[in-house]
Amino acid sequence: MNVRAAWGMWCTGGLLAAAACTSPDPVRPKGLPGGSTPSTVEYSFQELVWQDEFDQPGLPDAAKWGYDEGGSGWGNKELQYYTKARAENARVENGTLVLEARREALHPGNAYTSARLVSLGGGSQLYGRFEIRAQLPGGRGIWPAIWMLPDNWQYGNKGWPDNGEIDIMEYVGYDPGIVHASTHCNKYYFRTNNQKTATIQVPDATTAYHVYAVEWTPEKITAFVDDKAYFTSANEHSGWEAWPWDQPFHLLLNVAVGGEWGGAKGIDDAAFPQRMVIDYVRIYRMKAK
């Protein structure tokens, strides 16, 4: 979700967002077999270690989800205000999580509201498979994302992009049917226009559910839609500048409005409200075969 990661920390008060998302006991991978090196190891992702099936109506489970709150633009000139524990923007209904962007000016300077959830209580892990089944919102000016940030900001500038970002799914409403996956770090990120990224066509992304996933190992990060791999970011073994993904990361789910990318073609106010509907979120442990 590019530079909004940095402003997700600083605009809500220091490292508030990062601290809020840190799991007290992030899941770590099993050890490598004796004599193996990362480049020669194969991995499986069969052990389910954290999940939310969204089967309890009401607000999202407070033991599993926190909120990033605010409306300062998030470093991308976004126009929404992210609310906290407000059912109009984030709720569980009919066995799904609904994140809803609305055209309403509840806060000065923001003509829209929405929600940005962060995973808690074990929803943080070093390596593994992160899998989300979702139906995406559409409409010009809408910018949903399913992505990941680190629990701790230990490298370089102690912020973004030095500590990494994994974009499992991004979608901009003015470019229908195209889903993006990316990674950002000190050496490769969107402000220098050299981020590692790829796209896949999903023509019914806004009318049907699809499974968006990444499999993350010490050697690479691979993105999938419905188990079709279409993007890989490989470890160059050149240091943290190109591979900060050796520490636990947590999930973020949000629907942005406008912004430098999402709002590049303007905003269709007639399209509101728009909802990202999530059937489940599942995290699997990585295990060396």
**pLDDT averaged over the chain?**
90
Is 165 among the catalytic positions?
Answer: yes
Active site residue: 78, 165, 215, 219, which one?
165
The predicted structure's pLDDT at residue 30? 53
Q: Which residue's structure tokens are 């220091």? A: 14
Read off the pLDDT band of 3 (50, 70, 90): very low
Q: Going by DSSP bridges, is the β-strand pair 90-93/249-257 parallel, antiparallel, or unpaired?
A: unpaired
The predicted structure's pLDDT at residue 35? 43
Are 178 and 8 in contact, with CB atoms under 8 Å apart?
no
- Close Cβ partners of 156 (under 8 Å, ≥ 6 residues apart): 162, 163, 186, 240, 241
Question: Quick one: average pLDDT of 239-243?
Answer: 97
C-alpha–C-alpha distance, residues 58 and 97, integer Å: 9
Q: Read off the tokens for 151.
A: 């629990």
Is 170 among the catalytic positions?
Answer: yes
- Close Cβ partners of 15 (under 8 Å, ≥ 6 residues apart): 9, 153
The predicted structure's pLDDT at residue 24? 43
Q: Which of 260, 154, 269, 138 minimizes the C-alpha distance to 205?
A: 138
The predicted structure's pLDDT at residue 173? 98
The predicted structure's pLDDT at residue 259? 97
For residue 76, pLDDT beyond 70: yes
Active site residue: 100, 131, 170, 219, which one?
170
